[in-house]
Amino acid sequence: MRTGLEPGDLGDLLERPILAVLATRRRDETTMLSPVWFEWDGGAVVIWTGGPEDGKARHLAADPRTTVVIAESDLPYRGLEVTGRAELTQVGYDAAIRRISARYVGAEAAERLVRSFPDGLLIRVVADRIRAWDFADEYGPAAG
């Protein structure tokens, strides 16, 4: 396994429409893992959520410490773990939800989502620590 990689070493991984997993802490200190759509902005993972009453948003408002894992399920199993603090914001929400959603479901469906979630929030996980890996040495270069 290759470790110590930078996000740029992962090829197109961060542009692919794969699910990331966001970890948040509940009030009782247990962890909630949520599959989420995301985009990488070069120093943070940006995720959209339905609004301030969403469980992820409530957890992060109370405790912004979080980790996001983005990993593919195909060889060479590239992955990125971003640990940091979440910022909750509506700044740039409409444009971000359009970009993120269009990548997963297409532009037409993305427009419907923007209309369906007018009070949504962006979760921006600013990286304090990044861990990136792949198995290219064992299984060959990344496809795509």
Q: Please report, for the domain that includes residue 127, its CATH number.
A: 2.30.110.10
Could you give the number of structural domains in the chain? 1
Pairing of strands 38-40, 79-89: unpaired
Report yes or no on 142 lying in a domain: no
Look at residue 143 and tell me if it is in a domain: no
Which bin fits 116, alpha (ψ -120 to 50), beta or left (φ > 0)? alpha
Give me 14's structure tokens: 């961060």
Ramachandran angles phi, psi of 54, nearest 5°: -60, 140
Structural domain includes residue 55: yes
pLDDT tens-digit series, residues 58-94: 999 999 999 999 999 999 999 999 999 999 999 999 9
Coil/strand/helix, residue 127: strand
- Of 27, 47, 39, 14, whose CA–CA distance to 123 is shortest? 47
Does residue 114 belong to any structural domain of this protein? yes
Asked if the structure places residue 64 within a domain, the reply is yes
Confidence of residue 140 (pLDDT cuts 50, 70, 90): confident
Q: In terms of residue numbers, what domain contains 41?
A: 2-137
Whether 144 is covered by a domain: the verdict is no
129 with 84: CB under 8 angstroms? yes
In angstroms, the CA 120 to CA 106 distance is 19
pLDDT over threshold 70, residue 141: no
- Cβ count within 10 A of residue 75: 15
Whether residue 107 is contained in a domain is answered as yes
